[in-house]
Amino acid sequence: MYYRPKIVIVDDETRMTSSLKILLGDKGYDIETFQNGRDALNYLETSECNLVLLDVLMPVMNGFEALSFLKDRHPDVPVIIMTGQSTIDSAIRALRSGAYDYLCKPFEYDELVSRVDNALSHRMLRKENNLLSHQMETTEACYQYLLHNSPDIIFTLGPQDKFVFITDKIKSCTDLSSQDLMGREFSSIVHHQDVERALDYFKGVR
């Protein structure tokens, strides 16, 4: 099934929303348009989107107010602020408020498409990273569970055959805990008659 990213455009200028809907729709994006921030937020309460293009000067709820609600309720959705207030202060305010990017009107079509593509790529990469992190955490949790619940004694030897890790299962056959054995040579828990055979075994394994 063909995936079409959903973009929500919020601007009280109907000519602007209509133009952007046609331009971005031709790029393969699924577009929803609104004339004020409140209607857009109501829509997002029940619908998902991948990106919001948000004008600053609007009735009912201005862009910065809408941005505040968006970042509070939908923090994973990137927002590109659009405004005719082409000042450094308004750009800084937008970025500090959580906007992903900032466009000054009038803007070139190629510039808009480039910013939109970048925002969507960034969101996709962040989602993939979050998924990978979750998978790694799950794998680590399973590994730790198996490690500490194994009926076998599991250990790691470092330089000079000293313990750098050993499970607490060692207590089942010695009076020593894993902490007692950290930094000690493995031969310290091997019967003196078996030390040479144990050394030969580990050499063979290595």
- Res. 143: pLDDT tops 90: no
For residue 8 the two structure tokens come to 């929500």
119 and 51 Cβ atoms separated by less than 8 Å: yes
Q: How far, in Å, are 34, 129, 134, 140, 153 from residue 137 at the CA level?
A: 40, 12, 5, 5, 24
To the question of pTM greater than 0.75 for the whole model, the response is no
| Mean of pLDDT over the chain | 86
Return the minimum-mean-pLDDT range out of 19-23, 40-44, 163-167, 174-178: 174-178
Residue 195, SS3? helix
| pLDDT band at residue 206 using 50, 70 and 90 as cut-offs | low
- The confidence band for 2, taking pLDDT boundaries of 50, 70 and 90, is low
Residues 6+ apart with CB under 8 A from 37: 10, 54, 58, 60, 61, 62, 63, 65, 66, 69
Looking at residue 38, its amino acid is: R
Q: How confident is the model at residue 86 (pLDDT cuts 50, 70, 90)?
A: low
The per-residue pLDDT for 41 is 94
pLDDT at position 152 is 80
Residue 105: per-residue pLDDT: 86
pLDDT (0 to 100) of residue 84? 78
DSSP H helices, 8-108, are 14-25, 37-44, 63-73, 88-96
69 burial via Cβ count (<10 Å: 0-12, 13-18, 19+)? middle
pLDDT of amino acid 180: 81
pLDDT for 205 beyond 70: no
What is the rounded average pLDDT of the residues 85-113? Answer: 85
- Cβ atoms of residues 147 and 154 within 8 Å: yes
Q: Is the pLDDT of residue 6 over 60?
A: yes
Residue 37 · residue 82 · CB < 8 Å = no
- Over the stretch 146-184, which tens digit does the pLDDT of each residue have? 777 777 888 888 888 888 888 877 877 777 787 888 888
**Residue type at position 11:** D
Mean pLDDT is highest, among 40-49, 134-143, 144-153, 164-173, for 40-49
8 A C-beta contact, residue 120 and residue 50: yes
